């Protein structure tokens, strides 16, 4: 079940009027790795026909880490109450790192200021413990902007839904991407099974075996992207492993291994071989062939 920062807190000023659009946010620190899946906001009591937008930023470099297109709450929504919108893609977050959950409201908003603000606030694995974690940006821009300005200990009731785990993929075909600080796929891909998409993260890992006509069609990227195990028969790696230290370790045997990726320097012949590829960084693929040669 997802966690949120705010529980029973409600705004002291439920219907502030900014006169124009304003971006409001909360600086939030998760204690552990996980995902932000939704943004929550306490809607003002005035109904607004224009949709409220939401996004997630990393505060250290003011980078938007949610999708480029901001998500929108249902309009006009439920006034004077919490509303939430699901992010288009769950946003992976790293424990101990500060993020900003930000909304853009066309005019009205809810707030609490001064000594009545709930700061600092901690609930479960989420905390808003920075000095003045409630921030705003009075830019009238259409897209959600990073928030950095603090005033009078303001709280603007922007929140997230945080998950430490996402639902497991049980099908043999995983179409899409696994993206997390430590994205992992472990096990085996049986005949005709397919991993179509990408695995990325500081420690993206696929461990196990790829047998018969199994296929990894996509990419694995990260500072320490790793695939360990074996690729047998007509197994295919069609894509790339791109990272400062990407590594495919195990054995490559039988049939043809097709490394038809822009990151690959060599396409093998039908004979079992061990190959090395060169990408934008240093990418190494190691294994064995009959006779123990390399």
Instruction: For residues 16-43, give the mean pLDDT.
Output: 97
pLDDT tens-place string over residues 145-200: 999 999 999 999 999 999 999 876 423 333 455 444 544 444 444 444 444 455 54
pTM tops 0.75: no
pLDDT recorded at residue 206? 53
Q: Is a pLDDT exceeding 80 seen at residue 215?
A: no
Yes or no: say if 193 and 214 are a contact pair by the CB < 8 Å rule. yes
The answer to whether the beta carbons of residues 156 and 177 sit under 8 Å apart is: no
pLDDT tens-digit series, residues 239-283: 444 444 444 444 443 333 333 443 333 333 333 333 333 333 333
Q: Which of 32-36, 192-196, 222-226 has the lowest mean pLDDT?
A: 192-196
Mean pLDDT for 140-145 is 95
How is the chain split among helix, strand and coil, in percent rounded to 5? 0, 45, 55
- pLDDT band at 212; cut points 50, 70, 90: very low
The closest of 209, 208, 227, 228 to 218, measured between CA atoms, is: 227
- Is the Cβ–Cβ distance between 183 and 34 less than 8 Å? no
């Amino acid at each position: 079940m997802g966690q949120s920062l705010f529980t029973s807190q409600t705004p002291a000023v439920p219907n502030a009027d900014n006169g124009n659009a304003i971006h409001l946010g909360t600086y939030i620190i998760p204690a552990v790795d996980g995902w932000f899946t939704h943004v929550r906001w306490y809607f003002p009591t005035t109904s607004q026909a224009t949709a409220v937008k939401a996004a997630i930023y990393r505060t250290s470099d003011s980078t938007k880490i949610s999708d480029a297109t901001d998500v929108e709450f249902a309009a006009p929504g439920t006034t004077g109450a919490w509303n939430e919108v699901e992010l288009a893609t769950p946003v992976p977050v790293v424990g101990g790192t500060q993020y900003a959950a930000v909304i853009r409201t066309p005019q009205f908003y809810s707030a609490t200021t001064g000594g009545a603000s709930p700061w600092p606030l901690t609930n479960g694995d989420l905390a808003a413990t920075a000095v003045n974690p409630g921030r705003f940006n009075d830019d009238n821009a259409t897209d959600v902007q990073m928030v950095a300005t603090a005033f009078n200990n303001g709280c603007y009731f922007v929140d997230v839904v945080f998950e430490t785990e996402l639902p497991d993929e049980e099908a043999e075909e995983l179409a899409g991407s696994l993206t997390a600080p430590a994205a992992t796929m472990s096990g085996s891909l049986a005949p005709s099974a397919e991993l179509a998409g990408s695995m990325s993260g500081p420690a993206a890992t696929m461990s196990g075996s790829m047998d018969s006509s199994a296929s990894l069609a996509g990419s694995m990227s990260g500072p320490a992207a790793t695939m360990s195990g074996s690729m047998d028969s007509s197994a295919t790696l069609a894509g790339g492993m791109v990272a400062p230290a990407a590594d495919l370790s195990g054995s490559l045997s039988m049939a043809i291994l097709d490394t038809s990726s822009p990151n690959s320097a060599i396409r093998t012949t039908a004979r079992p071989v061990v190959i090395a590829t060169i990408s934008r960084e240093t990418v190494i693929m190691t294994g064995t062939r009959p006779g123990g040669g390399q």
